């Protein structure tokens, strides 16, 4: 029991926020199964995630999803060589549900467990796709809670080059969407509304691009949306025009910083992950950028941009294979800096 | 019959192993340390008994009410262990476990009447009443409730109630006032349910087939209002 042969698989569990994700990753055959339960509808009436409601739902969803993926993948417990679960960063109560179930499953099956960093999971999600990039690379993580530019030399070797000094990109999308009367979470709805926006009516600033450095600031764009809406009136076309101007400003800002970071580090491969990585305008712009810079850009499939169990199973497999082990302890961290992770040798 | 029990609904963390009528227990008062302790306690109990998890007949856990995180810890561990070892699960009320612990203190010949009142934080208490016939396990005689201490009313029936639980020391005045004229004896130091009592009650339930599957190992919170709904979806205009 417990040997990390390539012919066995890892169960991955994600419960850091408002999605319960479970998946099975096989050392040779890749992803065998994944299942997700989104709590979006549960939280929508509150206009944001309510931590206690999230935790209560996770504890009802995790095990049925574990059953489901094991059936889907057609595996038995003896095919498993480990259990991985997100142990941070995120909502502590929600994380502890995944940790309690995951650590106990590993104990009961007598296989090792590994605690996975949620953002490392996002970062490695493109490796679930055909033609994954090789290291070193530059990673842009754009999600509901994070905006990070990271120089990546290998698994666990992360140097943070830039981050948001205030709102994360996804958060800025969601807050602006709320102002525009779109539901929660409003990122995708705002992107859809921007499609019908006039391209030249408003131009929003590109925050922090006029000075050197790779940090971001997005809270000002939300304020800009408020004042524009007040000044110009709240008709449907104005809302669409604001959505366009907002998205354009975000995409442009991210592209400018990515270009800067690529040139500064000399990296040729760009990985983009996290919920906002599903945004089509952003993908189009970054694809153009790397073409111009002579590199390549790598995204996860749309379903693996937002939270999912697949990225946790994959990350868990990589770390377990490198000998990383969680002791017989159920623990999680609401905050957990990405650049404190242990290094894992090259695959 | 072999049964493993765990109880993490209060600041105490405990695990117990029942093997054909004998009980071994690990018990520690350790706020916020449950996650560090619970699986090691279980590992130690199993190792001492020379048993593997799958050799057990069932698993019981204190399902609440109690601290939300503690309840989910117990439920999550129960789910993981029961699913991986293919064991049936017995959810046991944490109030019943506390009552069961209290009833072992005396061994009178009359039916004991135990009223558990636990502090529920946020100015409220959880409470329920239990009867125990001589040489029997406690039996819940009311529906467990959540209320403000000043609004508490005694359970139906005449005679003296033995009051146990953490609420007495926290809400002493409000409870004393609400219970004027009620015949009570207060044992305020009995406030931590024990896994050994979860096991005693769990064995009984297991023998009579009152079990659930691993995915039904869920907490009973009693408090269901955990967020205020915004009146409307507000926009700045
Ligand atoms: N097409 C899109 N355009 C813009 N934003 C989007 C799009 N799709 C999703 N998002 C945004 O992505 C965010 C959700 O992403 P994700 O699930 O990765 O974040 P999270 O898990 O909440 O945060 P973190 O990973 O930082 O803890 C939300 O803010 C959502 O609005
Ligand atoms: Mg995420």
- List, for residues A183-212, the tens digit of each pLDDT value: 888 999 999 999 999 999 999 999 999 999
CA A279, A284, A285, A291: dihedral to nearest 10 degrees?
A: 140
Give contacts of B237 with chain A, Cβ < 8 Å. 229-230, 234
Q: State the smallest CA–CA distance between residue A22 and chain B in angstroms.
A: 14
User: A334-338 contacts: CB < 8 A, separation 24 or more?
Assistant: A334/A88, A334/A89, A334/A90, A334/A91, A334/A92, A334/A95, A335/A88, A335/A89, A336/A87, A336/A88, A336/A89, A336/A117, A338/A117, A338/A119, A338/A120, A338/A148, A338/A150, A338/A158, A338/A160
- Bridge-based pairing of strands A137-142 and A147-154 is antiparallel
> What value does the mean pLDDT take over residues B48-64?
98
Per-residue model confidence (pLDDT) at position A3: 56
Q: Tell me if A3 is assigned to some domain.
A: no
CA–CA dist B59, B98 (Å, integer): 18
Q: Is A187 in the pocket of ligand 1 (CB under 6 A)?
A: yes
Alpha-carbon distances of B47 from A16, A197, B51, B80, rounded to whole Å: 33, 67, 6, 19
Query: Residue A161 has which token pair?
Result: 């080059």
CB contact under 8 A, B218 and A53: no
A75 falls within a domain: yes
Judge: B72–A96 Cβ closer than 8 Å, yes or no.
Answer: yes
* Ligand 1 atom with least separation from CA of A279: 1
A259 and A171 share a domain? yes
Rg of chain A over Cα atoms, rounded to whole angstroms, equals 20
Q: How confident is the model at residue B227 (pLDDT cuts 50, 70, 90)?
A: confident
- Tell me what the mean pLDDT of segment B156-175 comes to: 94
Chain A residues interacting with chain B (CB cutoff of 8 angstroms): 45-47, 50, 52-53, 55-56, 59-60, 62-64, 66-67, 77, 93, 96-97, 99-109, 178-179, 181, 183, 226, 229-230, 234, 328-331
Answer yes or no: is A149 within a domain.
yes
CA distance A50 to chain B (A): 7
Using the CB atoms, write b or e for A260-293: b if 16+ within 10 Å: bbbeebebebbbbbbbbbbbebbbebbeebbeeb
Ligand 1 centroid to residue A341 C-alpha, Å? 23
Alpha-carbon span B106 to A69, nearest angstrom: 51
Cα–Cα distance between A177 and A242 in angstroms, integer?
10
Q: Is the CB of residue A176 below 6 angstroms from any atom belonging to ligand 1?
A: no
Contacts of B45 in chain A (CB under 8 A): none
For chain A, what is the mean pLDDT?
96
- A273 within ligand 1 shell (Cβ under 6 A): no
| Ligand 1 close to Cβ of residue A144 (< 6 A) | yes
Considering the domain architecture, whether residues A172 and A104 belong to the same structural domain is answered as no
Number of domains present in the structure of chain A: 2
Ligand 1, residue A280: give the atom nearest the CA: 1
Give domain status of residue A64, yes or no. Answer: yes
B210 vs B232 pLDDT, higher one: B210
A147 and A110 in a single domain? The answer is no
Q: How far apart are CA A344 and CA A152, in angstroms?
A: 12
Residue A346 has pLDDT above 80, yes or no: no
Q: Are residues A172 and A282 in the same domain?
A: yes
In a domain, A34, yes or no: yes
- Rounded to the nearest whole angstrom, what is the distance from the C-alpha of residue A308 to the centroid of ligand 2? 8
Residues of chain B in contact with residue A100, where contact means CB-CB under 8 angstroms, are 35, 72-73, 75-77, 80
Using pLDDT thresholds of 50, 70 and 90, give the confidence band for residue B111: confident
Indicate the pLDDT class of residue B236, thresholds 50, 70 and 90: very low
pLDDT above 70 (res A335): yes
Q: Do B35 and A101 touch (CB under 8 A)?
A: no
In Å, what is the CA distance from A71 to each residue of A24, A29, A99, A330? Answer: 11, 16, 22, 26
Helix (H) and strand (E) counts in chain B = 6, 11
- Are residues A89 and A143 part of one domain? no
- Chain B interface, mutation test: which of A59, A184, A225, most B Cβ atoms within 10 Å? A59
Mean pLDDT of A26-44: 95
Sheet architecture: strand order including B2-7: B22-29, B12-19, B2-7, B58-64, B89-93
Kindly state the average pLDDT of the residues B21-30.
Answer: 98
**Nearest residue of B to residue A178 by CA position?**
B235
- A293 Cβ neighbours under 8 A, 6+ residues apart: A259, A262, A263, A268
Does residue A101 share a domain with residue A39? yes
Ligand nearest to the CA of A88: 1
pLDDT exceeds 60 at position B235: no
Q: A188 in ligand 1 pocket by Cβ < 6 Å?
A: yes
Cβ atoms within 10 Å of A195's Cβ, excluding its own:
12
Tokens of A82: 């480990």
Question: Do A160 and A291 share a domain, yes or no?
Answer: yes
Residue A215: inside a domain: yes
Tell me: pLDDT of A316 over 80: yes
Q: Nearest C-alpha of chain A: how many angstroms from B163? A: 31
Same domain, A174 and A227: yes
> Cβ–Cβ of A330/B73 closer than 8 Å?
yes
**Closest residue to A50, CB basis, from B34, B80, B227:** B227
Tell me the β-bridge partners of A163: A148
| B 24-83 residues with CB < 8 A to A | 34-36, 38-40, 42-43, 53, 68-69, 72-73, 75-81, 83
What's residue B157's pLDDT? 84
Domain that holds residue A186: 135-299
In terms of domains, do A277 and A309 share one?
no
- Show residues of chain A in contact with B86, CB under 8 Å: none
CA distances from A253 to A218, A257, B136, B172 (A): 10, 6, 72, 60
**Three-class SS state of A25:** strand
pLDDT value at B109 more than 90: no
Q: Is residue A219 part of a domain?
A: yes
* Residue A286 shares a structural domain with residue A196: yes
Q: What is the CATH number of the domain that holds A86?
A: 3.30.420.40
A231 occurs within a structural domain? yes
What are the tokens at A301? 């499939």
Compute CA distances B133 → A104, B113, B130, whole Å: 37, 9, 10
Same domain, A148 and A266: yes
Of B35, B68, B218, the CB nearest to A331: B35
Instruction: Give the three-state DSSP class for A1.
Output: coil
Q: Given A46, A55, A108, which is nearest B84 (Cβ)?
A: A108
Tell me, yes or no, whether A283 and A310 share the same domain.
no
CB contacts < 8 A, A to B, total: 125
Q: What is the pLDDT of residues A247-298, one digit of tens each?
A: 999 999 999 999 999 999 999 999 999 999 999 999 999 999 999 999 999 9
């Amino acid at each position: 029991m417990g040997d990390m042969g390539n012919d066995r698989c890892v169960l991955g569990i994600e419960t850091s926020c408002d999605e319960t994700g479970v998946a099975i990753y096989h050392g040779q055959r890749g992803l065998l199964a994944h299942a997700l339960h989104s709590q979006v509808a549960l939280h929508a009436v509150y206009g944001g995630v309510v931590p206690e409601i999230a935790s209560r739902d996770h504890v009802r969803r995790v095990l049925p999803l574990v059953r489901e993926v094991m059936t889907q993948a057609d595996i038995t417990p003896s095919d498993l060589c480990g259990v991985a679960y997100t142990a941070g960063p995120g909502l502590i109560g929600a994380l502890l549900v995944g940790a309690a179930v995951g650590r106990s499953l590993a104990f009961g099956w007598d296989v090792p467990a590994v605690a996975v960093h949620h953002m490392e999971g996002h970062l490695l999600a493109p490796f679930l796709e055909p033609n994954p990039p090789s290291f070193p690379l530059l990673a842009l993580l754009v999600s509901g809670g994070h905006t990070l530019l990271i120089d990546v030399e290998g698994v666990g070797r992360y140097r943070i080059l830039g981050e948001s000094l205030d709102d994360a990109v996804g958060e800025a999308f969601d807050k602006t969407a709320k102002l525009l009367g779109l539901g929660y979470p409003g990122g995708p709805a705002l992107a859809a509304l921007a499609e019908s926006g006039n391209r030249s009516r408003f131009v929003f600033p590109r925050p922090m691009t006029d000075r050197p450095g790779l940090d971001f600031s997005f809270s000002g764009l939300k304020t800009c949306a408020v004042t524009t809406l007040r000044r110009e009136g709240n008709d449907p076309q104005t809302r669409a025009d604001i959505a366009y101007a907002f998205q354009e400003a975000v995409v442009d800002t991210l592209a400018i910083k990515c270009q800067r970071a690529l040139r500064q580090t000399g990296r040729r491969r760009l990985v983009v992950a996290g919920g906002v990585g599903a945004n089509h305008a952003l993908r189009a712009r970054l694809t153009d950028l790397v073409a111009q810079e002579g590199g390549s850009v790598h995204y996860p499939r749309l379903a693996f941009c937002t939270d999912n169990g697949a990225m946790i199973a994959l990350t868990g497999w990589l770390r377990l294979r490198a000998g990383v082990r969680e002791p017989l302890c159920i623990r999680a961290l609401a905050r957990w800096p990405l650049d404190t992770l242990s290094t894992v040798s090259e695959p | 019959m072999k049964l493993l029990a765990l109880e993490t609904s209060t600041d105490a963390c405990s695990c117990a192993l029942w093997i054909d009528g004998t009980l071994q227990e690990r018990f520690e008062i350790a706020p916020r340390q449950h996650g560090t302790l619970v699986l090691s306690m279980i590992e130690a109990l199993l190792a001492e008994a020379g048993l593997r998890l799958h050799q057990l007949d069932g698993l019981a856990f204190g399902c609440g009410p109690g601290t939300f995180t503690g309840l989910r810890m117990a439920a999550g561990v129960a789910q993981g262990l029961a699913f991986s070892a293919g064991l049936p699960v017995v959810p046991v009320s944490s109030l019943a476990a506390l009552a069961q612990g209290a009833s072992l203190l005396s061994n009178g010949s009359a039916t004991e009447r135990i009223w558990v009142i636990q502090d529920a934080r946020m100015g409220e208490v959880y409470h329920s009443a239990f009867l125990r016939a001589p040489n029997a396990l406690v039996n819940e005689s009311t529906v467990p409730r959540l209320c403000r201490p000043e609004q508490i009313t005694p359970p139906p029936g005449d005679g003296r109630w033995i009051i146990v639980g953490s609420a007495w020391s926290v809400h002493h005045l409000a409870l004393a006032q609400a219970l004027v004229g009620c015949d009570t004896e207060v044992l305020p130091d009995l406030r931590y349910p024990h896994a050994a009592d979860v096991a005693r009650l769990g064995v009984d339930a297991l023998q009579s087939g009152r079990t659930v599957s691993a995915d039904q190992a869920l907490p009973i919170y009693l408090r269901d209002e955990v967020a205020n709904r915004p009146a409307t979806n507000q926009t700045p205009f």
